[in-house]
Amino acid sequence: MGWEFQLPTKIIFGRGSLSRVWENVDRKKVLFVTGKSRFREEPLGRIKKQLSNAQVSVYDNVEPNPTHQNVDGGVEVIEKEGCELVIALGGGSVIDAAKLMASIAVNKGKAYDYAFQKKRIEKKGLPLIAIPTTAGTGSEVTPFAVISDKEKKLKAPIRNRQLFPKVAVVDPELTASMPAELTANTGVDALAHALEALWSKKAQPITDYLALRAAKLIFDNLKKACQEPENMDAREEMSLASLLGGMAISNAWTCAAHAISYPLTINFGVAHGNACSLTLPEVMEFNALRSEKINRITQLYGPEKMRELFKEIGLKTRLSEFGIKKDDIPLIADGVVASTLETNLVEMKKEDIITMLEKIL
């Protein structure tokens, strides 16, 4: 069987790599995309200092699980200020929103139409430098942007190769300010990427290799990163795991656990990583029973080992812990994103999902 692998993003990795942002800025008018949390002040100041010759605008109106309105607001600033390059400093939410802003600035229109109305991104957007401050999404190297509509309770990924950032600057020091709960939540997102890349229909030798390496790094380092927030070796390994997981899904995509996570987040406020980890062991068991390849992987990182890790890092593992009741299960099953579920190597029907959700109630 043949395969292809595409990843056009230049990656700069390492502690202190934030000091190298300027090397990649070749335009005069720059938009910084961020959220509102205070942890960012110091790194943002450090980047601004490097760009003393540029005209810098800041858009800080990106919320966790970014909305199409957040994106449209950023596009307005780009148009008003004539920005030529976008720099995203934040978690997956900020990076995803910035990806779509940079694209829409060139392709025009409203974010809602790209996210929920099948409008396609045709042209390459403005260049984007993505600087992750969490270790989990890998969004700095993926061609995806996950956008929400909080009124209509919709959350879904846009997938388009034009969304690859131009440059990813991954500085593990930026993740040191994450509290334990955020470290846990984002860390298991990276684990979900690694495992889902393995059980994707689009899996191939390169993504398998990246995914296996990422999974090992997470099992070896996530607990340490949660319990010893100052442990920079563990932080660095988690940033690497997140990057490798992102590289794996950039071409293999995600599957059932992600497809089910979106309605859990948008309807019940479950953080993205935890929303994926809730069903991850169940999806693994379901897939392993039906696929020899996945069965082999479970011998390395079986569902029990995973459940144990989730407990140790303080994650919630049952739906009822989020106030979700049996009556809510049909709503979750209806919100599962079909185009993401479709990549699952083993076919999963709505009844299978309902059975799975009832098991973890």
User: Closest separation between CB of residue 341 and Mn ion, Å?
Assistant: 14
Per-position x/- string for 48-67, each x denoting binding to ligand NDP as judged by CB under 6 A, each - no binding: ----------------xx--
* Both tokens assigned to 39: 């942890």
Which token pair is 230? 């100052």
- Taking CB under 5 A as the binding criterion, the range among 30-38, 186-194, 197-205, 280-288 that sits at the site for Mn ion is 186-194
DSSP assignment string, 182-214: HHHHHHHHHHHHHHHHHTBTT--HHHHHHHHHH
Which residue, 90 or 263, has its beta carbon nearer to ligand NDP?
Answer: 90
The residue to which tokens 């209509």 are assigned: 152
Q: How far is the CB of 292 from ligand NDP (least distance, A)?
A: 28
From the list 249, 232, 225, 246, the residue with the least C-alpha distance to 168 is 246
- Name the binder of 196 from ligand NDP, Mn ion, none, CB < 5-8 A by kind: none
User: Tokens 């790209």 map to which residue?
Assistant: 114
Cβ-based nearer residue to Mn ion, 189 or 282: 189
**DSSP run (H or E) holding 158:** strand 154-159
> Where in 255-274 is the site for ligand NDP (CB under 6 A)?
272-273
* Residue in 168, 174, 194, 212 binding ligand NDP, rule: CB under 6 A: 174
Residue choice 59, 112, 144, 301 for contact with ligand NDP (CB under 6 A): 144
Q: Which two tokens stand for residue 17?
A: 């790599």
Listed in sequence order, the residues at least 6 apart from 150 whose beta carbon sits closer than 8 Å to its beta carbon are 65, 67, 266
Candidate ranges 21-29, 182-190, 235-243, 335-343; the one touching Mn ion (CB under 5 A): 182-190
CB of 9 to ligand NDP, least distance (A): 12
DSSP reduced 3-state for 134: coil
Which does residue 91 bind out of ligand NDP, Mn ion, none, counting CB within 5 to 8 angstroms by kind? ligand NDP
**Could you tell me the two tokens for 334?**
């209806």
Q: Count interface residues toward Mn ion (CB under 5 A).
A: 1
With CB under 5 A as the contact rule, which of the stretches 45-53, 181-189, 290-298, 334-342 interacts with Mn ion? 181-189
Question: Closest distance between ligand NDP and the C-beta of residue 93, in Å?
Answer: 3
Q: Give the C-alpha separation, 79 to 105, whole Å.
A: 7
Among 9, 21, 32, 35, binds ligand NDP (CB under 6 A): 35
Interface region with ligand NDP, contact rule CB under 6 A, candidates 69-77, 90-98, 115-123, 202-210: 90-98
Joined together, the tokens standing for residue 133 give 């401050």
Instruction: Please tell me whether residue 91 binds ligand NDP under the rule CB under 6 A.
Output: yes
Instruction: Identify which range of 115-123, 185-193, 213-221, 306-314 contacts Mn ion by CB under 5 A.
Output: 185-193
Distance of closest approach, residue 96 Cβ to Mn ion, in angstroms:
10
Report the residue from 189, 196, 237, 328 that binds Mn ion according to the rule CB under 5 A: 189
How far is 9 from 157, CA to CA, in rounded Å? 19
Amino acid identity of residue 287, one-letter, is N
SS3 helix, strand, coil % of the chain, rounded to 5? 60, 10, 30
- Examine residue 186 and tell whether it contacts ligand NDP (CB under 6 A): yes
Q: Phi then psi for 20, rounded to 5 degrees?
A: -105, 10
Q: Give the length of the chain.
A: 361
CB of 326 to ligand NDP, least distance (A): 26
User: The tokens 């109630």 sit on which residue?
Assistant: 361
Summarize as ranges the residues that interact with ligand NDP (CB under 6 A).
35-37, 39, 64-65, 90-94, 96, 133-134, 136-139, 142, 144-146, 174-175, 177-178, 182, 186, 189, 272-273
